Structure 1
Amino acid sequence: MPSGLAAAVFQRARARSVSAVRLPPQSEESATERKMHGHVGKTAAARVNGAGAGEGRSAARVNGTGAGEGRSAGTLSTVEPMHPTRQCLWTATSDGHPTLVDGAWLSRIGCAEGELSELVQAADRDRVRSARSPEPPAPYTVDYRLRGNDGATIAVSESGAPRFAADGTLEGWFGACVATDAESRGAPAGGPILPPHYPLLVWHTDVDGQFDFFNDTWLEFTGRTLEEELGRGWMEGIHPDDRERCVAACEQAVAAHEPFEVEFRFRRRDGQYRWVVDWGLPFDDDEGRHAGYTGSIQDVTAQFRATAVREGQNRFLEQVAMGRPLVEAITTLTDAVERYGEGSFASVLILDEDGRTLRNLAAPSLPPEYVAAIDGFEAGPCAGSCGTAVYERRLVIVEDIATDPLWENFRDTALAHGLRACWSCPITFGGDRVLGSFAIYYTEPRRPSSREVELIESMARIAGIAIQRSREEAALRVSEEQLRQAQKMEAVGRLAAGIAHDFNNVLVVVQGHAELMLDGLDPEADERLDLNQIIRASKRAAKLTQQLLAFGRKQILQLRVLDLNEVIRGVEAMLAGTIREDIELVISLDSELGRVRADPGQIEQVLLNLTVNASDAMPDGGKLEIATRNIEVGHGAALGMDGLVRQGPGALMTVSDSGCGMDRETAQHAFDPFFTTKGPGKGTGLGLSMVYGVVKQSGGDVAVDSAPGAGTTVTIFLPHTSATSEESTGIEALPPAPDGSETILLVEDDESVRQLTVRGLESYGYTVLEARHGREGLAICRRHPGPIDLMITDIVMPEMGGFEVADQAAAIRPEMRVLYVTGYTDLIAGERSDRVAGDALLQKPFTPSQLVTRVRKLIEA
């Protein structure tokens, strides 16, 4: 034995050499089980600090659960034998520290009790010391002589072998010492060699391999008689799933007369299967011939369970660190708990966003019907173990579901699925936030041990860390996606608005020249038809640019305080006329709906676009519902495709259909300009883009919720307003004005637009001063000798914009009025929005007649 064992010896059988025995793998066995079954070239690791067969007896253990529990590491407890024996089986830690000692062995073989190393005859000591320390660790056998009480020499043969952990590190030693020439030997070869109440389950075979001895501890453990166990009757206690593999492994070792170490599940007298490790060592008779095997079984269930939990927690932490799905990681925890408590079912429920509803996250072994039945129940004071634990934020132990009042509302469901006990611990994070519950079920009434309470509380704690981390990561992903979406929509919006702005300048020229030509033609001229077609086409193009501007949030809105319900009622008849008769239109309005600030005309257009889209999504008919309601948006509440709605009260308007719906990928692009799911010629792809822009420009948000076959719902949020007046920041069409004679300064950087505008104004009798940019316009203001009644300036120009031109011109000619012209309102905000209120703003594209009407109105104001 290793040098540390010189202070004590252990009772076991003689072994000549040791070789590892590995059980064949089983497809369904866990990593923990495979680890405990051993590895080729190494003796399987058997933990010695767990409950053994002699649990509750004077089993000598270090840091175990037997009589040695509570002693410091290295403290030994001796085992008093019932009768003499010449053999001593021993085990030790990797550094030679003994774990079980038979302190009377030396006296039984005729030696004085004391240090074994001091009793070894001097001539043998170096050889023994060298044999006990092989490098690398390997099986060894050494013969030496002990000094007896009366000066006699006692021959001893010692064999030992290393035990390795799964990772290859040395875990301990085991072996045997036998007095081969002791005066006190009284047990014949092949006879009983160990005390009947030895703390391990001890067995013995004859030369033919028939089991002919089991000690009392064995019989007490199994609850069977000696007659039932003899021969091979004891094998009935091996778990059916382990029996074939166990027997094969033992037979392999026996055929070679080699030691073996095997782990399997063994039935205890109460019917429970316990994990055990079985050591077997061959022994010889006095003439050196093989005489049989002797060995023992130790209960290592506690170690197995602890290992299963520890490995499960380690795998769980690895999965969390690697970003594996939450369900996968939590299932690893539930699996570990179920391995710890055989016959148990672990379950994890998480709280829904409402903070009341519990949803199933992981319950791999519970009956699926039971899991489905309790999924979605509310936490409360009498809501079973889990609902109560969450509601009261405490550990709830229900030993018998059949009688506990907490299960009154769920008792029949639980009992119908064979569940009788349930212990549940709230899953918390940060000490005050409850995330869900961790529960363990049993099919029999059961009270948890203190260790089981510690287990469920520990599992709940680390589950809380993973759940909270998962939620934070999910929220971060949503925020990142919202930011990416917002950046994309902003970039596309700027592009669309820029295109629309330039296109508006082109349309001004096309429409203006067509109108001027039309005014100069004879009423019966054939060219009038062509010119009218040009004007109609340019107006259609102007509508497209308005939709692009709406998406880019750069159109000019006539913002007013309005009631969405009134807008919906006002267009209800029109909407009903745009859908087919096989589509049912349902209007559900909140009579207490708060007022919002928006452009009523644009809201009508929004409703029309959504109605048309919904109708197209229901080719075989269906239901279209338009509804409104008030909502109080909490801090950070997500609604839109690209951000967070601002906190506070608002109005929700939803347009829902029962149509074909969209998948997630399609829905993510629903608001992109020119994106359409309709066939060629059936849509421009700007309808939802216009909806997006109008809502955003009105200070609201919009979202789409859809799934294939489940229809589509578009939700629009607009913040409430406390204003009551019907202010307008836009314009309305005015009647034609008579000719004028005033002087007008035109500041326009686009040459085509400038030339057309000059021509149109001059045709109505106005004198026009042209300026190609802002600085030139200011120079004209300074040097023109006569009055300038009105300045017309484009808002967006290079170097100097229209607002800056107007500000500097006002210092030169304070009496001069200003008409702003623009294709979009990118720079109209804050105080500037007041400067373009009423008639002071004209939106491109416009015709010469529209321009002179507005000019006349401003001059006469």
Structure 2
Amino acid sequence: MSGKSRRSILMNKDELSLPMNRRLSLLLKTLAIIISVETAIMFLLHGIVRVPEGWAGNILDGVLLGALTGPIFYLWLFREIGEKESWRQAHAQLEDRFRLLVESAPEAIYVQIGGRFSYLNPAAVRLLGAVDEASLVGRDLLERVHPDLRAAVRERMRLVTEERRAVPVMEGRCLRLDGTPVDIECSAVPIDQEGKTGALVFLRDISQRKKAETALRENEERYRSVVDNIGIGVFLVDPSMRVLSLNQKMREWFPGADAEQRLLCHRAFNSPAREEVCRDCPTQKTLQDGQVHEAVREAATSRGAADFRVISSPIKDSAGKVVAAVEMVEDITARRRDEDMLRRNYEMQRALNEMLRASLSALPLPRKLDKILDLLLSAPWFMIERKGCIFLQDGPVLAMAAQIGLSEPVRAACGRLPSDYCLCGRVARTGEEILSTQLDERHENSYEGMSPHGHLCLPLKADVAILGVLNLYLVAGEAPDEQQKEFARAAADIIAGTVLLAKAEEKFLQSQKMEAVGRLAGGVAHDFNNILTAIKGYSEFLIAAFTAEDPRRADAQEIFKSADRAAALTRQLLAFSRRQVLSPRVLDLNEIVSGMAKMLKRLLGDDTQLVTHLSPDLAAAIVDAGQMEQVIMNLVVNARDAMPKGGIVTVETANVCRRPESGKAHAEGPACAYVMLSVSDTGTGMAPEVLGHVFEPFFTTKPKGKGTGLGLSTVYGIIKQSGGDIEISSEPGRGTILRIFLPASRQAAEAAGAAASAVAPSPSGTETVLLVEDEDSVRSLAERTLSDAGYRVLSAADAPQALAHLRALREPLDLLLSDVIMPGKSGPELAEEILGAHPGVKVLFISGNEDGALTKHGVLRPGVSLLPKPFSPNVLAHRVREVLDGGAPRKSA
């Protein structure tokens, strides 16, 4: 109505007026009204108030003027007054309306003039914590401003009042009357009031918004904290695949991926940065089809190469349009490493199982070793070249038993390696593995043009014994990790077990052959020795009966010699089959060798030299002296025969520690303490196919008629029966070495001849002897021999007959002379029954094959006397006298 806006009316109520022409008319009319009113008043007061002379004419003139213009004036006056009254009513209504709006406005509004409150609407009163407007009007508004903002408010007041500029919205804090701070936002515009410039200020309480913002910020911080500490990488990309944000884990992995740079995904997370999208990118797929996609990626991070599992999920707007993609990135490096480790462990176990299967197969040893080596070198994750070989110990050298990938020059150079030569030789000597990633000074066996490589050499161990060496070729400069080395060690153990198994099988087959021959020898020996006893005995009678000039005496002597040779052959068979009776004692092998030295030199002849290397601190061994002499004799003779043009035979003794075979170690010695005796020659040597048969009976390499083939088999039987072991190594053109190992004893050695009687007893006597022998010829021979020597002999063919003689005997019995093996009751059983009734009786057993009845592991039981068959009458007479003169009665066994 006035042509002004609501804001201008509120700013200056005094400027509310009509246009200028009407304003002037209104002013004149107002003056006319004032004059008329004043004239009427003066006229009315003339008769009441005395007026000085001269004033009355003036008043009268005024009244007359008023009377003349009155009708016209009142007509105009009342019309104008009516218009003005109508405008005033409209203005009052408008003013009331705007005041109502201001008073009821939710926003706080106040007017300040000169820095003090001049008007406040109710919302402002409430905001500032006042009871009513009066408690604030006239007060300094800076009191209600937070101290931190007062300087800024002063500057804003200056801009409004002095420069008459409106100031923009500002957030801040005001203080209630009780001092409580309130978060607000405010704006101000200049206003004129009563001729002064002030400010109309609008305030809004934003406490709730601030709380919401704080809560939102806290939630966002919590979310970011969760995302930053979730343990996986999270980042956000827009539809153009630019990185919008990323969490702490992603920043750790990829320090160069700054979200502020808005880098493309494939550039931010690849080093070097990729120019194109990754193949099968899950993010690209998600942005295209709005589905969840997953992929595994390898990337270079701040800590090295890593494997990541990436899951891409879409973010859609209300219309279902994909507006971004959130990527969750999980580091699966450790898991994949564990999976690889598990897979490798499985493959290792499978390979080892295959090796064990090959080891237990029926294949010959060389093919087993080839198979195991192939499985070992075929492992794809094993950091080795597909080259390697297996050496087996062959005496003082290593012989290549299997190989894969080796060239002809390498096979020729490394076919046989001396111990302590090159890497493998050192391993064989020390028993310690060697890892060499390059060819160095230790690699002595090399040739020109050999390609660079390394070696992993592992000993093939069986307890303390070294069976050979596993040699694996490595890529130059690279070394297997600990797990790969453990795999190689396990393979080496399997190879060692395979070699042991092969040796055990070989020994088992050999023992089966021995057992078969032994059973044959044992079965034949009993009857054969009975026959030989008769032949020897009666031939001795003939020799004694003929004079020296009688040619028949020479014939009888030849019969006696032939019987002796046949008896020696029988003893060899029994020795080989470990069925002969031993009388072991604690002896010094050095003393035995020294005592035989002169005889051995005579056996060797002038063209062969005997060299001895005897250990000065050699431990004692428990052996049968006579049998040990036979062993040494046989070995030296074999060495001589292997050198038809002469050479050197070396006899050596030493203390050694080796793995004992089950059940073979003597109780007197430590578990690995052995005495070694070796005999070596510089002869023709033997091929490997020959070595496998040297201990078989009747096997010989000598020309026909030059050997029985029982020499080494006899040695084998004696040593095995003594609880020892025997090894042989040989090579064509390089001679042969044979080693004997006997359990060492803690006891001091006896003199080698301590068992021999100093003085032989008289072969005659008058005692009563009960002779029990089921073989008629032997019984007759023994009865005649003892009767001729003066003894009273009661002869019986079996145990019942012997007991009948004993019951009929009226005088004491002095000696029981009995065969061991007889029909019905055996000799030891008969002796036990007789000793039960006659404890003072002496006992002497005779036997061609006692079959374990009087021995334990081939060793005669303590207190038992035995005369082996065949025997001569003279030997029988001496042995009977020896037993009768021996003191305490003998045990029955």
| 1:143-199 C-alpha deviation (Å, 9 max, x unpaired) | xxxxxxxxxxxxxxxxxxxxxxxxxxxxxxxxxxxxxxxxxxxxxxxxxxxxxxxxx
CA deviation after TM superposition for structure 1 residue 388, in Å: 5.1
* Aligned positions of 1:56-455 closer than 5 A: 58-61=277-280, 75=294, 320=355, 323=358, 325-327=368-370, 330=373, 345=385, 364=405, 375-376=423-424, 387=434, 419=452, 440-441=474-475
- Residue 759 (str. 1) matches residue 787 (str. 2): no
Q: Secondary structure in 1 aligned to 2:862?
A: helix
The answer as to whether partners of 1:425 and 1:456 remain within 8 angstroms in 2 is no
> In 2 relative to 1, CA 639–328 (structure 1 residues): closer, same or farther, beyond 3 Å?
farther
Match for residue 853 of structure 1?
Answer: 878
The answer as to whether partners of 1:555 and 1:823 remain within 8 angstroms in 2 is no
CA distance in 1, matches of 2:447, 2:711: 53
- The code of the aligned residue for 1:702 comes to I
CA distance in 2, matches of 1:648, 1:526: 60
CA distance in 2, matches of 1:417, 1:506: 71
> In 2 relative to 1, CA 327–853 (structure 1 residues): closer, same or farther, beyond 3 Å?
closer
CA deviation after TM superposition for structure 1 residue 627, in Å: 0.5
Match for residue 768 of structure 1?
Answer: 793
CA deviation after TM superposition for structure 1 residue 330, in Å: 4.7
Match for residue 835 of structure 1?
Answer: 863
CA deviation after TM superposition for structure 1 residue 601, in Å: 2.8
2:808 to 760, 763, 783: 783
CA deviation after TM superposition for structure 1 residue 588, in Å: 1.0
Match for residue 227 of structure 1?
Answer: none
CA deviation after TM superposition for structure 1 residue 608, in Å: 1.7
Match for residue 620 of structure 1?
Answer: 645
| 1:717-744 C-alpha deviation (Å, 9 max, x unpaired) | 1222233355999776975736444332
CA distance in 2, matches of 1:316, 1:653: 42
- The code of the aligned residue for 2:861 comes to S
- The code of the aligned residue for 1:61 comes to D
Match for residue 81 of structure 1?
Answer: none
| 1:620-672 C-alpha deviation (Å, 9 max, x unpaired) | 222211111011224559999xxxx9933121000001212222332222222
Q: CA RMSD in A?
A: 5.5
The answer as to whether partners of 2:590 and 2:653 remain within 8 angstroms in 1 is yes
| 1:17-64 C-alpha deviation (Å, 9 max, x unpaired) | xxxxxxxxxxxxxxxxxxxxxxxxxxxxxxxxxx9x998953223799
Q: Secondary structure in 2 aligned to 1:603?
A: helix
Match for residue 626 of structure 2?
Answer: 601
2:556 to 527, 531, 535: 531
The answer as to whether partners of 1:617 and 1:659 remain within 8 angstroms in 2 is yes
Match for residue 503 of structure 2?
Answer: 478
- Residue 820 (str. 1) matches residue 823 (str. 2): no
Q: Secondary structure in 2 aligned to 1:656?
A: strand
Match for residue 720 of structure 2?
Answer: 696
CA distance in 2, matches of 1:414, 1:617: 36
CA deviation after TM superposition for structure 1 residue 311, in Å: 15
Structure (1 or 2) with the larger CA radius of gyration = 2
Higher helix share: 2
Sequence identity, in percent?
34
Match for residue 694 of structure 2?
Answer: 670
CA deviation after TM superposition for structure 1 residue 506, in Å: 0.6
- Residue 587 (str. 1) matches residue 806 (str. 2): no
- The code of the aligned residue for 2:424 comes to G
- Residue 496 (str. 1) matches residue 494 (str. 2): no
CA deviation after TM superposition for structure 1 residue 757, in Å: 1.4
CA distance in 2, matches of 1:378, 1:655: 25
1:544 to 551, 569, 593: 569
| Larger RCO (CA under 8 A, 6+ residues apart) | 1
The answer as to whether partners of 2:435 and 2:455 remain within 8 angstroms in 1 is no
- The code of the aligned residue for 2:854 comes to I
**With structure 1 as the length reference, what TM-score do the two structures score?**
0.53
> In 2 relative to 1, CA 518–630 (structure 1 residues): closer, same or farther, beyond 3 Å?
same
Match for residue 682 of structure 1?
Answer: 706
Deviates more, 1:485-494 or 1:709-718: 485-494
- The code of the aligned residue for 2:505 comes to E
- The code of the aligned residue for 1:376 comes to C
CA distance in 1, matches of 2:378, 2:581: 62
Q: Secondary structure in 2 aligned to 1:834?
A: coil
The answer as to whether partners of 2:434 and 2:458 remain within 8 angstroms in 1 is no
1:796 to 799, 812, 821: 821
CA deviation after TM superposition for structure 1 residue 822, in Å: 2.0
CA distance in 2, matches of 1:358, 1:550: 33
CA distance in 1, matches of 2:569, 2:871: 15
How many residues are paired up? Answer: 543
The answer as to whether partners of 2:423 and 2:443 remain within 8 angstroms in 1 is no
1:710 to 734, 755, 777: 734
Q: Secondary structure in 1 aligned to 2:824?
A: coil
CA distance in 1, matches of 2:646, 2:818: 52
Match for residue 656 of structure 1?
Answer: 680
| 1:210-253 C-alpha deviation (Å, 9 max, x unpaired) | xxxxxxxxxxxxxxxxxxxxxxxxxxxxxxxxxxxxxxxxxxxx
Match for residue 14 of structure 1?
Answer: none
- The code of the aligned residue for 2:770 comes to L
- The code of the aligned residue for 2:826 comes to G
> In 2 relative to 1, CA 617–808 (structure 1 residues): closer, same or farther, beyond 3 Å?
same
> In 2 relative to 1, CA 786–515 (structure 1 residues): closer, same or farther, beyond 3 Å?
same
> In 2 relative to 1, CA 828–734 (structure 1 residues): closer, same or farther, beyond 3 Å?
farther
Deviates more, 1:775-784 or 1:358-367: 358-367
CA deviation after TM superposition for structure 1 residue 467, in Å: 4.2
Q: Secondary structure in 2 aligned to 1:820?
A: strand
The answer as to whether partners of 2:458 and 2:489 remain within 8 angstroms in 1 is no
> In 2 relative to 1, CA 329–530 (structure 1 residues): closer, same or farther, beyond 3 Å?
closer
| 1:71-119 C-alpha deviation (Å, 9 max, x unpaired) | x995489xxxxxxxxxxxxxxxxxxxxx9x9x9xxxxxxxx999xxxxx
CA deviation after TM superposition for structure 1 residue 711, in Å: 1.5
CA distance in 2, matches of 1:332, 1:757: 70
Match for residue 277 of structure 1?
Answer: none
CA deviation after TM superposition for structure 1 residue 314, in Å: 12
CA distance in 1, matches of 2:705, 2:874: 33
Q: Secondary structure in 1 aligned to 2:729?
A: strand
| 1:294-331 C-alpha deviation (Å, 9 max, x unpaired) | xxxxxxxxxxxxxxx99999997897487365556655
- Residue 611 (str. 1) matches residue 645 (str. 2): no
The answer as to whether partners of 2:682 and 2:735 remain within 8 angstroms in 1 is yes
**With structure 2 as the length reference, what TM-score do the two structures score?**
0.51
Match for residue 517 of structure 1?
Answer: 542
The answer as to whether partners of 1:348 and 1:439 remain within 8 angstroms in 2 is yes
CA distance in 2, matches of 1:388, 1:488: 44
Q: Secondary structure in 1 aligned to 2:615?
A: coil
- The code of the aligned residue for 1:677 comes to T
| 1:338-388 C-alpha deviation (Å, 9 max, x unpaired) | 9x99xx95666889999xx999987848997699696427589xxxxx945
The answer as to whether partners of 2:818 and 2:827 remain within 8 angstroms in 1 is yes
Deviates more, 1:462-471 or 1:613-622: 462-471
> In 2 relative to 1, CA 778–317 (structure 1 residues): closer, same or farther, beyond 3 Å?
closer
